């Protein structure tokens, strides 16, 4: 079997407030996602979101079920989003259809499909970021090139948060998963500040396009009890519904954000004003 998996349990905000650095990293940080020839998955108890990575070679790499799913097939009761975050072109087979993904493209796969991954060039394998959440019905599989995503330009150079947000799933129908990508402009380092929470949905971030020595300080915690996790390139972090999720990097970077929960309303958030944060 070419799949590794682990489980992350939900953490109460009071428990998180008492954690030191190593405990915060053990519960919320996801490392080593992209391993050649393997699929690595983290099954979370936050809205049952699965966060993973796949690095296929020239041979098909099947997305097989894992024990926490409790189903015979991985997507028997789930939907899937695949985001190409690096490397060469990828070919993803979903059911009877095949889809060619270039860097920063997204593929949505509806419930019930069998999925395999392969790289067009084994010498330059694709790094595929995987996000899966429970689904209640089968929706059409859709390939969304990066250029077709809904774009919003926010922030300003004066506040070091000039950025472009690319909303992927707002242009297609999903059961509950919401996914997009944010690109920081050169010279900007802050994302999602002022911060917010959304008590009805969890979120996960994957930071990428970071230089080897660069880092992002990912802010988390209840607004009145904040903490941070220092993150390197192509590492992910789980954000509970009660937590803020913001970051400041030592250089420009990009990140994929993904939510699952009670609705698919991108604007459903509760602000955390800077004056109230601690």
Q: Is 196 annotated as a binding residue?
A: yes
Higher pLDDT, 267 or 75: 75
Residue 245 labeled ligand binder: yes
pLDDT in tens, 122-151: 999 999 999 999 999 999 999 999 999 999
> Which domains does the chain show, CATH number per domain?
3-11+33-146 (2.60.120.10), 147-276 (2.60.120.10)
Q: Please write the tens of the pLDDT for every residue from 260-278.
A: 999 998 889 999 999 999 9
Judge whether 198 is annotated as a binding position: yes
Report the predicted TM-score, pTM, of the whole model to 2 decimal places. Answer: 0.97
Close Cβ partners of 20 (under 8 Å, ≥ 6 residues apart) = none
User: pLDDT for 85-124, tens place per residue?
Assistant: 999 999 999 999 999 999 999 999 999 999 999 999 999 9
Mean per-residue pLDDT, 11-37: 97
DSSP letters spanning 103-164: TT-EEEE-TT--EEEEES-TTS--EEEEEEEE-SS----EEE-GGGSEEEEE--GGGT--EE
Residue 222: partners with Cβ closer than 8 Å, 6 or more residues away: 13, 16, 17, 242, 243, 244
Task: Flag whether pLDDT at 1 surpasses 80.
Answer: no
Among 188, 233, 192, 191, residue whose Cα is nearest residue 215: 233
pLDDT at 267: 87
Inform me whether the pLDDT recorded for 202 exceeds 80.
Answer: yes
Residues comprising the chain, all counted: 278
49 pLDDT higher than 90: yes
pLDDT, tens only, 154-182: 999 999 999 999 999 988 999 999 999 99
**3-state SS, residue 15:** helix
Tens of pLDDT along 203-256? 999 999 999 999 999 999 999 999 999 999 999 999 999 999 999 999 999 999
Q: Could you tell me the CA-to-CA distances from 51 to 37, 47, 124, 182, 194 in Å, in that order?
A: 17, 12, 23, 18, 26
Rg over CA atoms, the chain: 18
């Amino acid at each position: 079997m070419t799949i590794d998996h682990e489980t992350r349990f939900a953490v109460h905000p009071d428990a998180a407030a008492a954690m030191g650095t190593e405990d915060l990293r053990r519960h919320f940080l996801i490392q080593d996602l992209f391993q050649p020839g393997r699929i690595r998955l983290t099954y979370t108890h936050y809205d049952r979101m699965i966060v993973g990575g796949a690095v296929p070679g020239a041979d098909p790499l099947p997305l097989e079920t894992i024990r926490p799913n409790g189903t015979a097939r991985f997507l028997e009761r789930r939907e899937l989003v695949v985001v190409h975050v690096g490397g060469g072109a990828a070919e993803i087979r979903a059911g009877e259809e095949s889809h060619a993904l270039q860097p920063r493209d997204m593929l949505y796969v509806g419930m019930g499909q069998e999925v395999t991954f392969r790289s067009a060039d084994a010498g330059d394998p694709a790094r595929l970021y995987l996000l899966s959440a429970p689904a209640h019905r089968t929706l059409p599989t859709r390939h969304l090139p990066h250029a077709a995503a809904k774009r919003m330009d926010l922030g300003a150079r004066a506040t070091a948060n000039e950025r472009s947000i690319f909303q992927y799933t707002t242009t297609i129908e999903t059961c509950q998963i919401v996914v997009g990508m944010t690109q920081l402009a050169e010279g900007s380092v802050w994302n999602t500040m002022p911060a917010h929470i959304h008590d009805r949905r969890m979120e996960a971030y994957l930071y990428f396009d970071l230089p080897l020595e660069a880092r992002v300080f990912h802010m988390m915690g209840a607004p009145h009890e904040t903490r941070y996790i220092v993150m390197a390139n192509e590492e992910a972090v789980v954000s509970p519904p009660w937590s803020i999720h913001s970051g400041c990097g030592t250089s420009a970077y990009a990140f994929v954000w993904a939510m699952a929960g009670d609705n698919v309303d991108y604007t459903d958030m509760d602000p955390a004003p800077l004056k109230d944060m601690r």
